[in-house]
Amino acid sequence: MLPTILDLASLKAAYASGLTPLDLVEEVIARRKASDDPAVFITQTPDDDLRASARALVERAPEPNSLPLWGVPFAVKDNIDVSGLPTTAACPAFAYQPEKDATVVARLKAAGALVIGKTNLDQFATGLNGTRSPYGAPRSVFDKAYVSGGSSSGSAVTVAAGLASFALGTDTAGSGRVPAAFNNLVGIKPTPGLVPNVGVVPACRSVDVVTVFAATVGDGVAIRKVMDGYDAGDPYSRKASPVALAGSGLRIGVLDGAEREFFGNKAVEALYDQAIERAKSLGATIVPFDYAPFRQAAELLYNGPWVAERLAAVKDFIGTNAEDFDPTVRTIIEGAKAYDAVAAFEGQYKLGHLRQKALVEWEKLDVLMLPTSPTTYTVEAMLADPIVKNSHFGRYTNFANLFGYAAIAVPGGFGSDGLPSGVTFFGPSFTDDALAPFADAMHRAAQSGMGKDKTVNLPEASKVAEPDDGLVTIMVVGAHLTGMQLNHELTGPGGKLVKTCRTAGDYRLFVLPNTTPPKPGLIREPGFAGKGLEVEVWKVTPAAFGRFVQNIPAPLGIGKVTLDDGSQVSGFLCEPYAIEGAQEVTDLGGWRAYIASRRG
C-alpha cells in the first residue's frame, strides 16, 4: 500500500518490492477522482493516456528504477508547455496547443517521470495567493477556508494532497515558495538561469524561474538536477559552476527588530523564532542583519518598472482581449503604462545601488533565513482586499530573483492556529546545492512531516549529506576560542567556526602552571559527573592543521574528544601528569569563564 505522500524514497522502495508504473497510475487516477478540491487541475491527463504513458515507460526501460525518475508522477503548472495538453495560463481565451514539451518537461519525461495533468495558477502567474483564476481557487490542504498560496497554487496542492510526487511551478516574486509554506512542502527555487525557461509563458522574462514542489529537500534537489543545464533557446540561460558555503557552521542572517513584520500574525512570528533556535541547535551562528536594502529591492518588482515586463509578455493579447483578464491581474498589468524607458533605466540604477548595499550585509553572512510568508489569509479576506493582502505575502520573497539568488523553502512547523508556516534559505547565485544540507536538516528538526501528513517521519534515504569540503575538524578549548589571543592561528589560514558546544560530562579543566598566556589542560576522567565544558569546533585546511599540530607544546596534544551529543572530534587534550598541583576550573564551565573571572 502506498503512503499518503508519494515521496521518491517511498515510491522507489515500492517499485523495488513489485509495484508497477501501471499500478501507480491506477492509484493516481483513484486519488484524483477522490480529491476534495476541484480547483487544483485545469487539465488532467486523460486516464487512458496516463495508462499508455506507464506502458510506454516499461517498454522503454523495463527494469524497475532504471531511470532517475522511473514511474514518478508529477504535475505541471499551466504556464509550462506539455505536448498533448493545452496551455492556458489560467485564461481560457489565451489557450493554445503546444507543439512540444517545455525543455524541463522533456528532460523529466526522459528521466522516466509521468505527467498527470496541468495545474491551476494565478492568471499569467500574477499573484502569490491562488485566487486569481477563472478555474477557481485551490485551498490549503489544512483548512479549506484559507488560500493555497500562488501563483503556483494547484502545483503545491497536488503534492501536499498526495496526488503527485512532485510538481513544477514558476517563481518571479515568490510563487515557488509561498505555496510550499502554506502546504507544508519544500519549494526549490533555482538560481535564475540555472534551469531553462524554453516553453514557459513568461511573467517577467528576465527574472522568471521554473521551480519544484517536493516532499523533501533531497527529492527537490534530485528533480532540479534533472532539469538543470544550459539551453541556448532561453536568452537568460546560464552555464554555471556550483558555489560552496561554509558547511554546518553557517553564519545565518535573521531579521532584527526594526525589519520584523508579521502583519499581526503572532503564530507565524513564534514559528520564526523557533526556527532561529533550531538553527542554533544545528550549529549555526545567528547574525541579525539590515533587511532594508532587500525590502526596498522587493518593492521594485510590483511598484517599479518591472511591471512593464509583465505587459511585454502579453501586450498583443491584452490589446485585443482585455476583458478576458482577471480584474486584479488586469489592473496590475495595465499599471505598466505608467512607466517608460527612462523609468526602466532608473529602476535598474536603483536596483544596482541596493545590490551594493546588500553586498555589505553579505560580508558578515553565509545565508539568509527569512519567513517564507509573514502571514496567511482566508480566501474571503484575500478577495476583499486582493492587492494589499497579496503584497504582504511577498515581503520576504520578491527580492530573490532581482538579486539572482538561489533559495530553498522548508516547512517550519504548525502554529497555534493549526496552520503551517515555513522559512526560506537564500544564498548567492549558484549556491543551490550548498544550501541543501542545512535546509534539509532544518526540515527534519522541525518534525512537521510532509504535506498533509503532519506526523510521518522524513525518509533517511532522502537525507542530504554535507559535501566533503576537504577540511579537517578540530576542537579548541582555550586561547584559540573566538575573540581570544590565539584565535588568529585558526582564522588566519581561513579556518571556519563550525559550532560552539560542550564536551561530554566526564571532562575536567585545569590551568597549567607556568604558562604564558595561561593554557588549559583538558583531561577525561571516566565516571566524573560534570556538566561538560564549553568548546568550539573549527574546520581548517589539512596544511593548516598540520602546522597547527606541529606547534603544540608539551604537555598538550591532539586526541579524540567526546562532545555532549556523543560525537567525537579531534581536539586539545593534556597529559595527566601535568595537572599535578594545577588549579581546577571545571566548575566555571569553560576557559572563557575562567578568563572572565580573572579580569573580575
Active site residue 77: yes
pLDDT band per the 50, 70, 90 thresholds, residue 27: very high
Put the strands of the sheet holding 251-255 in their side by side order. Answer: 41-44, 114-119, 73-77, 166-171, 209-214, 186-189, 406-414, 420-427, 367-371, 251-255, 285-289
pLDDT digits (tens, 9 = 90+) for 407-433: 999 999 999 999 999 999 999 999 999
- For residue range 6-15, list pLDDT tens digits in order: 999 999 999 9
Q: Which residues contact 259 (CB under 8 A, 6 or more apart)?
A: 290, 291, 292, 295
Q: Among 43-47, 419-423, 479-483, 549-553, which stretch is predicted with the lowest mean pLDDT?
A: 549-553
Model confidence at 468, pLDDT cuts 50, 70, 90, reads low
The average confidence (pLDDT) of the chain is 95
Instruction: Look at 498 and 167; give whichever has higher pLDDT.
Output: 167
* Residue 86 neighbours by CB distance under 10 Å: 16
Closest alpha carbon to 8 in 219, 290, 270: 219
pLDDT band at 494 (very low <50, low <70, confident <90, very high): confident
Average pLDDT over residues 219-244: 94
Instruction: Give CA–CA dist 215/462, Å, rounded.
Output: 10
Residue 161's pLDDT is 98
Q: Quick one: cell of 558? A: 591532539
Domains and CATH numbers, the chain: 8-236+250-462 (3.90.1300.10), 472-599 (3.10.490.10)
Q: What mean pLDDT do residues 34-60 have?
A: 98
Residue 469 has pLDDT above 80, yes or no: no
φ, ψ (nearest 5 deg) of residue 75: -115, 160
What kind and span of H or E run contains 558? strand 556-562
pLDDT given for residue 465 in this prediction:
85
Per residue in 522-536, pLDDT tens? 999 999 999 999 999
**Dihedral Cα 20, 23, 27, 32, nearest 10 deg:** 90
Nearest by Cα to 390 from 407, 373, 405, 369 = 373
Looking at residue 247, its pLDDT comes to: 55
Mean pLDDT of 359-379: 97
The pLDDT confidence band at residue 379, using thresholds 50, 70 and 90, is: very high
pLDDT in tens, 114-149: 999 999 999 999 999 999 999 999 999 999 999 999
Cell numbers found for residue 70: 522511473
Q: What percent of the chain has pLDDT over 70?
A: 99
Q: Which residue in the list 151, 153, 237, 448 is annotated as catalytic? A: 151
- Determine the average pLDDT of the residues in 197-204: 97
pLDDT at 405: 98
| Residue-level pLDDT at 130 | 98
What is residue 246's predicted lDDT score, i.e. its pLDDT? 64
Catalytic entry in 10, 12, 53, 77: 77
Question: Cα separation of 313 and 332, whole Å?
Answer: 13
Q: Which of 175, 237, 373, 448 is catalytic?
A: 175
DSSP string, 110-175: HTT-EEEEEE--SGGG--SSS---TT---B-SS-TTBB--SSSHHHHHHHHTTS-SEEEEEESSST
Positive/negative CA dihedral, 66, 72, 78, 84: positive
Check if the beta carbon of residue 150 is closer than 8 Å to that of residue 183: no
Give CA separation, 343 vs 308, 337, 339, in Å.
10, 11, 6
- The per-residue pLDDT for range 557-585, each reduced to its tens digit, is 999 999 888 888 999 899 999 998 899 99
Q: Which residues pair with 188 in a beta bridge?
A: 212, 408
Three-state secondary-structure class, residue 93: helix
pLDDT higher than 80, residue 306? yes
- Spatial contact of 121 and 89, defined as CB atoms under 8 Å apart: yes
Supply the pLDDT for residue 599: 78
* Stronger pLDDT, 243 or 113, i.e. the higher one: 113
- Whether residue 164 is predicted with pLDDT greater than 60 in this model: the reply is yes
| pLDDT tens, residue by residue, 49-85 | 999 999 999 999 999 999 999 999 999 999 999 999 9
What does the pLDDT average to over 476-480? 91
pLDDT in tens, 244-300: 886 557 999 999 988 999 999 999 999 999 999 999 999 899 999 999 999 999 999
